[in-house]
Structure 1
Amino acid sequence: MVDSLGLIQQGNGSGAIHNAAWSRASGTKPNDGPSFNDVLKQNLEQVNQLQQNAEMAIEDLVSGRRDDVASVMIAKQKADLAFQMLLQVRNKMLAALEEIKEMRV
């Protein structure tokens, strides 16, 4: 899979989340990398910025300040793709939460 938007970070993927959870469960000290909360917050800000850039590009095109339709379409597609990816992350998190709720202790 190609990450043309730069939203997937190799060191901060599910492996980092798994390692942090395993470290806490085993009683060892977690690594000093960014927390899941920080990574999620950073990605939310990136998606928000992409959406704002797309809206600004559309406004510029409509008002006549920009005449490059292709760049506006690319900005809009990037924002849409990033938002769809964010929704999939949310869906996976909700599915994991439901799975955890169903576990017997």
Structure 2
Amino acid sequence: MATELAGAIQADLAALTNEASRLAVTPAIDAAHHAHPGVSFTQSMKDALASVDQDERTAAERMNAVDSGKSDDLVGAMLASQQANLSFSMLLQVRNKVMGAVDDLLKLPV
């Protein structure tokens, strides 16, 4: 059972890593030539926030179902909770990188 749990956690971690790579932002040298129609950083961040919020809600629902006795899927609830935790951690790392980039831009001489 421990190996199954470890395998599931590794699969979730791989999925989150792929999602982080998908959300990676490339620097825009010339926005007119590199912009993708309909894709913006703001929308990507909103989607990421919505995804993290949904993960948190799903984990809470699963934990409440286990706590109330409606479900006996403790492993599934724990995995959902771990996925929500990893999603939130990833979002915090993205936020920290963005804030660092903004600080660097503010320090640039005009």
- Same fold per superposition (TM over 0.5): yes
| Mapped pair 1:23 → 2:17 | no
The alignment covers a number of residue pairs equal to: 97
1:39 maps to what in 2? 44
2:77 maps to what in 1? 72
**3-state DSSP of counterpart to 1:7:** helix
1:7 maps to what in 2? 19
- Alpha-carbon contact 2:66-2:74 (below 8 Å) kept: yes
Equivalent residue letter for 1:61: V
Judged with a 3 Å threshold, the aligned counterparts in structure 2 of structure 1 residues 29 and 64 are, in CA distance, closer, same or farther, namely closer
TM-score (norm 2): 0.78
Greater length-normalized contact order (CA 8 Å, ≥ 6 residues apart): 2
Q: Tell me the percent identity.
A: 31
TM-score (norm 1): 0.81
Higher helix share: 2
Identify which of 86, 89, 101 aligns with 2:91. Answer: 86
- Alpha-carbon contact 1:7-1:43 (below 8 Å) kept: no
**3-state DSSP of counterpart to 2:15:** coil
CA RMSD of aligned residues (A): 1.9
